Amino acid sequence: MSRMRHKHTSEGLKKKYPPSEPCSCDICQTYCLRPGWWTVAEAARAIKAGYADRMMLEVSPDQTFGVLAPAFKGCEEFFAIEEYSHNGCVFLNHNRCELHGTNLLPLECAFCHHTRTGLGRECHADIEGEWNTTNGQELVVCWMRSTGLWKMRNLCQVKWRE
């Protein structure tokens, strides 16, 4: 399987998508229900910080690669399953994000804001491009092996690189 070369590194993405001002309006709180994506480097830091058991694997629609993301409540250490999406992000408790104010907040979460209408899609696409690389997929496979999900990889049609 060939991998796209991406023009953005995690650091480049952080510059392109700077953090927004904190906001607790209804729109911004709604954003927090859907887990935002980490860059590859951010996800690696979150794993090192002990959060591997609170991640899930989102598989691309064309089933060619995966992205590690904060889990929906109930999908920890598993594939992202739409049935659980209504449960919200595992890090959101009592309308507060446990990762807010730490260096572990996903880039997409830090960037999205009600004043940045439409820009979230561009941010999401750029982060997706970073995951669709050898480095991104090596982290996914490492995480899958550490959680035991590797044994269940045939549940989806992704052709995982070993």
69 or 100: which leads in pLDDT: 69
Mean pLDDT of the chain: 86
pLDDT for the residue numbered 128: 93
Which ranges in 17-102 belong to alpha helices (H)?
Answer: 26-31, 40-48
52-85 pLDDT tens trace = 999 999 988 888 899 999 999 999 999 999 999 9
Per-residue confidence (pLDDT) for residue 80, from 0 to 100: 92
**Cα distance between residue 156 and residue 147, in whole Å:** 17
Give the separation between CA 10 and CA 137, rounded to whole angstroms.
Answer: 15
Q: Which of 75, 108, 68, 105 is nearest to 90 (CA)?
A: 75
Judge residue 134's burial from the number of C-beta atoms within 10 Å of its C-beta, 0-12 exposed, 13-18 middle, 19 or more buried.
Answer: exposed
pLDDT of amino acid 42:
96
What is the spatial distance between Cα 148 and Cα 79, in angstroms, rounded to a whole number? 12
Judged by average pLDDT, the poorest of 1-5, 111-115, 157-161 is 1-5
- Token pair 């860059």 in the structure block, residue: 39
For residue 1, pLDDT over 50 is answered with: no
Does the pLDDT of residue 20 top 80, yes or no? Answer: yes
Point out which residues pair with 55 in neighbouring strands.
70
Average pLDDT of span 128-152: 91
Strand-pairing partners, residue 92, are 97
Q: How far apart are CA 107 and CA 90, in angstroms?
A: 16
Is there a contact between 40 and 130 (Cβ–Cβ < 8 Å)?
A: yes
* 138-149 confidence digits (pLDDT tens): 999 999 999 988
Token pair 């572990």: residue: 104
Q: What is the pLDDT of residue 71?
A: 97
**28-37 burial, b for 16+ CB within 10 Å, e for fewer?**
beebbebbbb
